[in-house]
């Protein structure tokens, strides 16, 4: 069992140390002109999209495929596309039997399984690309960061692709030029129907057992989670709404909305997390709507920042004067849940500084200054924004080849993932939480503090909690 004492003792290393040490970790050169052999874990739905994106780079050979539902309708397309790739249903067998045939893995599976699979792959010496959110619990993110630090030659990348698009380079450039400065508040909102479940918040027990699909290895799907009987309400994206399996809208979209501000403003971890509004709160799955306030302290001469998160179809944030219309964000990956109707307000963010207000969409969408008259006045003062040298997928492979550094490695994204974990705990317990970023403890709620580590994993999965 992972004791809280051991967890807190192991958390003493600061994020700054993690980032500084990992800078030397890009020395494992596979070959300047040699394609990287990859194995893909999770090949349906989002996994299919990721594999297609990596193939488009022209930098990889797909040598192995792994999915617990191998042969189901959502996995057959990739199976047919790469008929020569070896096939597995259990990632442990993939590593044991074919580990010598690939250098890197892509992981696109439910949030709760990111941790054991990524840890197993790093233990096996593989470079890791994993979808966001990086982990489901605070402790898991801590261990993943430490594992990356312990193995600096391994390349890691979290799949928030906005880190390789316009917003990332714009935010960095505008901060360096003093355009973005003295930020005091950020609003981030996700208010369209994508990923919203239709479950009844009055539910009093887990869904009844259903027959396990003939193509599926349900026990391996569960990985570290406590055993549950199979039900369709856990599968094909539905897992995202359950506390035991997913991270809700915050974990799904927060990485596309808060990521650059969190990194470049060096927000770190909040000292207070307050669920100011939850609609349909229950013990099993995420509320139908949530408003969460994250309070971050002053850092390096920068003022304190309040970040307010809004989700839900009708839980809209207040908009500043001169906000204008809500434009759809380009290049957002599709979903397996059908066409999404236009929303009243598309996912986005509003950044309030002492002198200026910035408006932006999600993913790589760039910021604009509002209102328009202020934007026109500022236009001559805005610096040129450099273009990205590579997209997010090519960035990972080029880092595996020793040519670039990943822009969203575990030591960067891990802290943001921990912010989301704290937000999810606040959603779950439905009361304000106070967090000590030095000891990494929730100081006012024993039950919430225990959720930083979460339930003990099943015995056969304990080995992945060792660094």
Max CA separation in the chain (angstroms): 64
More confident residue, 195 or 272: 272
Helix (H, G, I), strand (E, B) or coil at 51: helix
pLDDT tens-digit series, residues 126-146: 999 999 999 999 999 999 999
148: pLDDT confidence band, cut at 50, 70 and 90?
Answer: very high
Looking at residue 432, what is its pLDDT?
98
Tell whether the model's pLDDT for residue 467 goes beyond 90. yes
Looking at residue 304, what is its pLDDT?
98
Contact between 244 and 334 under an 8 Å Cβ cutoff? The reply is no
Q: Which helix (H) or strand (E) holds 221?
A: helix 218-222
Helix (H, G, I), strand (E, B) or coil at 462: helix
Percent of the chain with pLDDT over 90: 84
Contacts of 426 (CB under 8 A, 6+ apart): 273, 274, 275, 292, 432, 433, 448
371: preceding bond cis by omega (within 30 degrees): yes
Q: How much is the average pLDDT of 101-123?
A: 98
Burial class of residue 100, CB neighbours in 10 A (0-12, 13-18, 19+): exposed
Q: What is the DSSP letter of 302?
A: B
Rounded distance, CA 193 to CA 284, Å? 20
Mean pLDDT (the chain, rounded): 91
Rounded distance, CA 297 to CA 304, Å? 4
pLDDT tens-digit series, residues 326-371: 755 656 666 544 444 555 789 999 999 999 999 999 999 999 999 9
Rounded distance, CA 175 to CA 197, Å? 38
H-state helical runs in 76-217: 76-81, 91-98, 114-123, 138-150, 166-176
Per DSSP, the residues of 337-403 read: S-PPPPPSS-SEEEEEESS-EEEE-STTPPPEEESHHHHHHHGGGPPPPPPPSS-HHHHHHHHHTTS
More confident residue, 206 or 340: 206
Residue 455: other Cβ atoms inside 10 A: 12
Q: Estimate the crossing angle of helix 410-429 against helix 248-257, to 10 degrees.
A: 140
Rounded distance, CA 439 to CA 399, Å? 33
Tokens matching residue 350: 């509003």
Looking at residue 337, what is its pLDDT?
44
Q: With helix as H, strand as E and coil as C, how does 375-389 read?
A: HHHHHHHCCCCCCCC
Rounded distance, CA 114 to CA 96, Å? 19
Q: How much is the average pLDDT of 368-383?
A: 97
Looking at residue 31, what is its pLDDT?
52
Looking at residue 129, what is its pLDDT?
98
Q: For the whole model, what pTM was predicted? A: 0.91
Distances (CA, A) of 250 to 89, 331, 333: 29, 20, 17
Rounded distance, CA 77 to CA 45, Å? 10
Q: With helix as H, strand as E and coil as C, how does 231-282 read?
A: CHHHCCCHHHHECCCCCHHHHHHHHHHCHHHHHHCCCCCCCEEEEEEEECCC
What's the order of all strands across the beta sheet hosting 104-107?
Answer: 86-88, 60-66, 36-41, 104-107, 127-130, 156-158
Looking at residue 333, what is its pLDDT?
64
118: pLDDT confidence band, cut at 50, 70 and 90?
Answer: very high
Tokens matching residue 174: 């505008």
Tell whether the model's pLDDT for residue 198 goes beyond 90. no
Radius of gyration of the CA atoms of the chain, in A: 21
Looking at residue 226, what is its pLDDT?
87
Contacts of 463 (CB under 8 A, 6+ apart): none
Out of 47-51, 102-106, 312-316, 351-355, pick the least confident: 312-316
H-state helical runs in 11-137: 15-22, 46-56, 76-81, 91-98, 114-123
Q: How much is the average pLDDT of 279-304?
A: 96
């Amino acid at each position: 069992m992972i004791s809280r004492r051991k967890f807190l003792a192991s958390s003493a290393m600061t994020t700054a140390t993690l980032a500084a040490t990992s800078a030397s970790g890009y020395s494992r050169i596979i070959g300047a002109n040699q394609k990287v052999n990859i194995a893909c874990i999770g090949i349906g739905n989002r996994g299919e999209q990721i594999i297609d994106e990596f193939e488009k780079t022209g930098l990889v050979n797909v040598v192995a495929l792994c999915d617990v539902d191998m042969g189901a309708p959502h996995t057959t397309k990739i199976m047919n596309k790469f008929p020569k790739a070896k096939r597995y249903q259990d990632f442990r067998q993939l590593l044991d039997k074919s580990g010598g045939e690939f250098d890197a893995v892509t992981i696109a599976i439910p949030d709760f399984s990111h941790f054991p699979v990524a840890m197993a792959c790093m233990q096996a010496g593989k470079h890791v690309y994993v979808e966001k959110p990086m982990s489901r619990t605070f402790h898991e993110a801590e261990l993943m960061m430490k594992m990356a630090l312990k193995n600096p030659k391994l390349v890691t990348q979290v799949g928030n692709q906005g880190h390789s698009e316009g917003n990332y380079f714009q935010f960095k450039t505008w901060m360096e030029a003093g355009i973005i400065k003295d930020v005091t508040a950020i609003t981030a909102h996700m208010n369209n129907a994508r990923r919203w479940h239709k479950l009844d918040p009055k539910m009093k027990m887990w869904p009844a057992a259903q027959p396990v699909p003939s193509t599926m290895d349900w026990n391996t799907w569960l990985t570290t989670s406590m055993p549950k009987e199979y039900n369709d309400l856990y599968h094909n994206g539905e897992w995202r709404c359950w506390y035991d399996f997913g991270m809700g809208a915050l974990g799904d979209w927060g990485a596309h909305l808060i990521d650059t501000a969190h990194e470049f403003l060096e927000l770190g971890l909040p000292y207070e997390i307050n669920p100011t509004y939850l609609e349909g709160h229950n013990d099993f799955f995420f509320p139908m709507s949530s408003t969460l306030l994250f309070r971050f302290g002053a850092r390096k001469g920068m003022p304190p920042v309040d970040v307010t998160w809004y989700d839900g179809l009708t839980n809209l944030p207040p908009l500043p004067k001169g906000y204008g219309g809500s434009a759809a964000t380009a290049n957002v990956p599709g979903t397996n849940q059908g066409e999404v109707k236009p929303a009243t307000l598309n996912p986005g963010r509003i950044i309030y500084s002492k002198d200026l207000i910035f408006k932006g969409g999600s993913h790589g969408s760039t910021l604009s200054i509002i209102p328009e008259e202020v934007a026109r006045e500022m236009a001559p003062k805005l610096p040129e924004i450099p273009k990205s040298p590579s997209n997010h997928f090519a960035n990972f492979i080029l880092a595996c080849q020793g040519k670039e550094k990943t822009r969203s490695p575990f030591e960067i994204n891990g802290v943001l993932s921990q912010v989301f974990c704290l937000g999810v705990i606040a959603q779950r317990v439905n009361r304000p939480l106070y967090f000590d970023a030095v000891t990494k403890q929730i100081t006012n709620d024993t039950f919430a503090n225990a959720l930083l580590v979460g339930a003990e994993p099943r015995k056969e999965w304990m080995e992945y909690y060792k660094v």
